[in-house]
Each structure stands twice: as C-alpha cells, then as structure tokens.
C-alpha cells in the first residue's frame, strides 16, 4: 500500500531525491569505455555519503552494492562487478539514498562512448516516454493515465515495456505499494 505523506515528509523525500539526482549525475559523468561497474559503484557510494546520506540499496534484501548497474542484456538490478564498459554498451544506473528516514530512488540509462543509431533511438524513445508520463502525472489523473501514455509511445516506436518492472511507491520504505 502506498502511504500518503505530509508536506514535511514530502520535503524530506525531495531532499533524498536531490541526493540521488546529484549522485546519478556524478556517476553518469564517470561512464566511459574501460571503467568497471565496480568503479561506478564506488563513485556512487562516495557521492551519496559526501552529501550526508545513506546508500539505500546496500544491504537491502541482501543486495551487496550501492548501485544497480545493468549493462546491455541485463534488464534491471545488475550487480556491479569487474566488467569493463566498452564503446556501444548501454548501461542502466539505478541508485537510492536515505535522508532522515525517507528514501529517494531513480534510474537513468546512458550510452557508453560511441553508439549506433539503434542505441541512440532506444535511449531517445525511452526519454520521450518518460517525459510523456511525467506530463500525465497531474492532479486528477490516475496511474493508468501515466502508464498508458508511456506504453502507447513505446509500442508506437516498435519497442515494448517490461511490465514486471514498471515502478513502485516510495517513502519510509524503498518499495511501497509496488505497481
């Protein structure tokens, strides 16, 4: 169940989310050929701790790392390793932080080095779908309005949505009311 939050609680969640956004930007800027996903994990943890927050994923359900780093064929929740990134890879970076007992959680997909047009198109369509979903996240709309906008755009472009991993609520728990 998703629990309604007070304005003060939403403010703390916004602080946690700001830490995540800043840390993701630091990690994103470190993505390049030759870097390992373990390197990115260390960078992510340092970026979160430098901002006075706690890494949310490390130890969660026995997860051993701070960052989820999913390269190419890995759909989600890839565990960082000694795997080196190379030109043309796609990497999903998923990161969470805890501030004042509340969670922030976000993910981005990044192309590594030089990519081909199909990789660039996939990332572009994904970003467009996210933007359309955000546009639908307004008072009076339902979750189905958001998901429909995303899925319609993705499928019109010839892709599909992995429905097992479409989102969850967040707050004092990392996963509140999984969708």
pTM: 0.89
Nearest one of 121, 106, 76, 88 to 14, comparing CA atoms = 106
φ/ψ of residue 111, rounded to 5 = -85, 140
pLDDT tier, 178 (very low <50, low <70, confident <90, very high otherwise)? low
Which structural domains are found in the chain, ordered by start? 7-115 (3.90.230.10)
CA distance 153 to 53: 36
Dihedral (Cα; 16, 20, 26, 31), 10-degree rounding: 170
Which tokens hold the place of 149?
């906008």
Alpha-helical runs (H) found in 51-173: 117-136, 143-156
* 81-126 tens-digit pLDDT: 999 999 999 999 999 999 999 999 999 999 999 989 999 999 999 9
In the predicted model, is pLDDT for residue 32 greater than 90?
yes
């Amino acid at each position: 169940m998703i629990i309604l939050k007070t304005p003060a609680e939403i403010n703390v969640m916004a602080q946690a989310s700001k830490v995540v956004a800043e840390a993701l930007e630091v990690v994103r800027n470190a993505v390049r050929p030759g870097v390992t996903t373990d390197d990115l994990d260390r960078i992510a943890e340092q970026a979160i701790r430098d901002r006075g927050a706690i890494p949310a994923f490390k130890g969660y359900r026995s997860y051993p790392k701070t960052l989820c780093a999913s390269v190419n064929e890995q759909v989600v929740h890839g565990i960082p390793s000694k795997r080196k990134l190379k030109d043309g890879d796609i990497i999903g970076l998923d990161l969470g932080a805890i501030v004042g007992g509340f969670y922030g959680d976000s993910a981005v997909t990044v192309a590594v080095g030089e990519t081909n047009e199909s990789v660039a198109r996939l990332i572009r369509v994904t970003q467009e779908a996210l933007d359309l979903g955000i546009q639908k996240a307004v008072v009076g709309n339902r979750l189905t309005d958001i998901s429909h906008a995303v899925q319609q755009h993705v499928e019109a472009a010839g892709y599909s949505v992995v429905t097992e991993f479409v989102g969850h609520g967040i707050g004092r728990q990392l996963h509140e009311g999984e969708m």
